[in-house]
Structure 1
Amino acid sequence: MTETIRNYDSQVIPYLEVYKEENRTKKRWHHTRADKETRYAHYYQHKTATLSEKERWGIDLIKIGLQRAVRPVVSCSFGIDSIVDVYLTRKALIELGRDPSDIDIVWNDTANEFQDVRQYQKFITQEWNLRLKITKPEKTLKHIIMDNGGVTDDYFFTRKGDRTKNKQPLSEKCCGTLKHKPMKKMIKEHEWDLVIVGLRADESTARFQAGLRDGEFFYSNSEWKSLVCRPILWWTEDDIWDYVAQEDIPYNSLYDKNQIQEYPEQSKLIQMIDEFNEQLLSVGLDIEKLKKRELSTVTRKQAILLKKKLKFKLFPPRTGCMMCPIPVKYGYMSWMREYYPKVYNAMVHNLGYGKALIGMVPDDVKEEIKQFLGIDVTADNAHEFLQEILEFKPCTFDKL
């Protein structure tokens, strides 16, 4: 890994060329990224690397950036990945003989954050003496939705970056207004020349592709106009939680609210519990309650094991906008209804989510509502009966 680190350091030396072509002045960036061999090296090396090796690489990568930067910053959502980033950065600063708090930390407060995150932010900022800078959006989520004609079904299922309808998806406009625009403004105001981020490649195909395209250390000449460092790019979710346990890093309580949404078939459940008994006990699961299907909430470590080994269907929450539409297709409404009922009601009734989602409920739910209430949820005016429908069947939007 040492050779790869040296390659990043020697190859990422960005400079802007200004030249003339056909009497026109043009600009072109050079050496903003390492070569393909370097960018792909850690992807392959991390498959067999130990957690200790990954930690060492992350710290050394951060040190490269810190030694170059005049005004570095760590982007932190106060989620588990970014807090590990902060922790690694503090270790890197100590190794460089500097105060571990001698760096800016920027948080994009979307004005739509979980209370768990806000409480944790206050705690860890004081505990670690963080030099926190907070961004604020110019518009609230409700105003963004109203300004764009309200919520429609594609708000929940159109992927960010999708241009099939020749327009920017509303979900992307939300992210742009609530997070990206305030962040760009803050980077410009503070003249940050290095942004350390907690992006992990295994979170999505898009992030994996971005990881191979850009690498762990590069210059963002179009988006942020600064160096970007991704110390945990190739860490897995297991790596993160093993490291948190190893280092006893405090994390926010949102990660202890993982909802079991579907158990395996009973005979398979018993068989797998017997097979993975020791592992289940090692993460603190109550075996008897599991056998009786009495558990509904588990910790993140428990959720990872249940999902990977026992094939449970769960919803593991993330930090970020409480009313984000993106996770709705993964069981988010069921989770919100259980843990944050007031926010759930605001989403359904105040923001118009219910009106857009009512036509997307499963066929068996539609038939049940029609049979017992006489309401056709496919009708244009079905949303007018939302209150009645949800009183009869609160779980209407649990599975979409």
Structure 2
Amino acid sequence: MSELITFNTWQEEEVSNLNQSVKDYFQLLKWTYTTYGDEDVVYACSFGAEGMVLIDLIYKVKKDARIVFLDTGLHFKETYKLIDQVKSRYPKLKIELKKPNLTLLEQKNQYGDELWKSRPDLCCQIRKVEPLKEVLSDNLAWVSGLRKDQSPARKHLQFINKDEKFKLVKICPLIEWTWDDVWTYIHLNNLPYNELHDKNYPSIGCEPCTQPVFDDNLRGGRWSNHEKTECGLHLDK
């Protein structure tokens, strides 16, 4: 693996061959940080279970990698506590908490109180999608912790993907991992993780839009009162 793949130079056959040549997640991460360099790749991390695995793997490849957390201002206190733990354990990582342009008060004044209840897609657009667009605007690639078994919408993913929404390359090292794989790695390596996972929260987002889950639907607790399964970061449009 040596080719520099960008959104503008994307060739389906070339990328297909590259995806087939990926032997494992570690090889993919080494290729990613070698190919795109310090300034052209960022890991957008939600600090969920997959995020802890990827942070640990990335640290073994690139100790001063850039990690961005989309700080909506609505996350659980447990999530912010975990971020502090990660900063202590991986001191060289460049961890940035990216905030939206609108404060929660400004959003309330402009769109009404508790926008996440009345118009959740717009709330996600303001507090997650637009901030990530700003983060990614100067990059060629970004790393994501998506896995195929998280939801039907993610089953088409490959290791290296053309991201139509953000117009760059999306790298998914854990696409073939199962939920059990994730937790096996966490326990074997004694990684910190969000304590809400022990309280039936497999997928953790903003506090008002996340509920515990008591079945096998890993994302069933997200936006449970709406016909919505994605915040918009990983949709093509």
The two structures have a TM-score, normalised by structure 2, of 0.75
From 123, 126, 134, the counterpart of 2:97: 134
Shift of 1:118: 0.7
Shift of 1:33: 7.5
Give the % identical residues: 25
Match of 1:60 in 2: 27
Structure whose alpha-carbon radius of gyration is higher: 1
What is the DSSP-based 3-state SS (H/G/I as helix, E as strand, rest coil) of the residue aligned with 2:155?
helix
Listed one character per residue, the Cα deviations across residues 9-43 of structure 1 (whole Å, up to 9, x for unaligned) are 55x73464xxxxxxxxxxxx64267556765x69x
Match of 1:319 in 2: 204
Equivalent pair of 1:14/1:32 in contact (CA under 8 Å):
no
From 73, 76, 85, the counterpart of 1:111: 73
Which runs of 5 or more structure 1 residues have no equivalent in the other structure?
A: 1-5, 17-28, 43-53, 94-99, 157-168, 259-315, 332-355, 358-400
CA 1:170–1:15 in structure 2 vs 1: closer, same or farther (change >3 Å)? Answer: closer
Equivalent pair of 1:13/1:32 in contact (CA under 8 Å):
no
Match of 1:76 in 2: 45
Equivalent pair of 1:59/1:91 in contact (CA under 8 Å):
no
From 102, 123, 144, the counterpart of 1:197: 144
What is the DSSP-based 3-state SS (H/G/I as helix, E as strand, rest coil) of the residue aligned with 1:112?
coil
Shift of 1:180: 1.2
1:31 matched to 2:11: yes
What is the aligned residue count? 215
Give 1:180's aligned amino acid: V
Listed one character per residue, the Cα deviations across residues 262-296 of structure 1 (whole Å, up to 9, x for unaligned) are xxxxxxxxxxxxxxxxxxxxxxxxxxxxxxxxxxx
Q: Which has the higher contact order (CA 8 A, sep 6+)?
A: 2
What is the DSSP-based 3-state SS (H/G/I as helix, E as strand, rest coil) of the residue aligned with 2:67?
strand
Partners of 1:115 and 1:134 in 2: CA distance: 14
What is the DSSP-based 3-state SS (H/G/I as helix, E as strand, rest coil) of the residue aligned with 2:173?
coil
Partners of 2:146 and 2:190 in 1: CA distance: 21
The two structures have a TM-score, normalised by structure 1, of 0.47
Q: Which has the higher helix share?
A: 1
Give 2:204's aligned amino acid: T
Match of 2:124 in 1: 175
1:218 matched to 2:103: no
CA 1:248–1:186 in structure 2 vs 1: closer, same or farther (change >3 Å)? Answer: same
Partners of 2:180 and 2:7 in 1: CA distance: 38
CA RMSD of aligned residues (A): 3.5
Partners of 1:253 and 1:149 in 2: CA distance: 32
Shift of 1:81: 0.8
Shift of 1:171: 2.0
What is the DSSP-based 3-state SS (H/G/I as helix, E as strand, rest coil) of the residue aligned with 2:207?
coil
Partners of 2:18 and 2:36 in 1: CA distance: 21
Shift of 1:192: 2.9
Match of 2:222 in 1: none
Equivalent pair of 2:67/2:94 in contact (CA under 8 Å):
yes
Shift of 1:230: 0.6
Match of 1:383 in 2: none
Partners of 2:78 and 2:13 in 1: CA distance: 37
CA 1:62–1:324 in structure 2 vs 1: closer, same or farther (change >3 Å)? Answer: same
Equivalent pair of 1:33/1:219 in contact (CA under 8 Å):
no
Give 1:13's aligned amino acid: I
What is the DSSP-based 3-state SS (H/G/I as helix, E as strand, rest coil) of the residue aligned with 2:60?
helix
Shift of 1:317: 4.5
1:13 matched to 2:5: yes
Listed one character per residue, the Cα deviations across residues 176-200 of structure 1 (whole Å, up to 9, x for unaligned) are 1111101111223xx2333111111
CA 1:31–1:242 in structure 2 vs 1: closer, same or farther (change >3 Å)? Answer: same
Equivalent pair of 1:74/1:104 in contact (CA under 8 Å):
yes
CA 1:15–1:200 in structure 2 vs 1: closer, same or farther (change >3 Å)? Answer: closer
